[in-house]
């Protein structure tokens, strides 16, 4: 049986400089999946009608570059 381990991660709550080391620690502990995004609406749409995805693209890239698989959840307005 193949077992996998996943974790919730909220990059919008952490300084971007920490993302790579966070991802590294996840991999070191055997985590393979990371769920993100479900509480990120306030960061995605700071101004009504204006969406900012660049930070999310960077977060996904950091996690993927570390070898993690990313599950993007659907955020709701918060």
- pLDDT tens for each residue of 44-75: 999 999 999 999 999 999 999 999 999 999 87
DSSP string, the chain: -----EEE--GGGS-GGGHHHHHHHHHHTT--EEEE-TT-HHHH-SBTTB---HHHHHHHHHHHHTT-EEEE------
Query: For 25-46, what is each residue's pLDDT tens digit?
Result: 999 999 999 999 998 998 999 9
Look up the pTM and report it.
0.89
Is pLDDT of 78 > 70?
no
Domain ranges of the chain: 6-72
């Amino acid at each position: 049986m193949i077992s996998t381990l996943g974790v919730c991660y909220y990059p919008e709550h952490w300084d971007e400089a920490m993302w790579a080391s966070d991802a590294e620690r996840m991999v070191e502990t055997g985590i393979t999946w990371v769920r993100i995004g479900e509480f990120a609406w306030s960061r995605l749409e700071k101004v009504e009608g204006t969406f900012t995805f660049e930070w999310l693209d960077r977060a996904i890239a950091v996690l993927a570059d570390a070898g993690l698989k990313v599950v993007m959840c659907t955020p709701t307005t918060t």
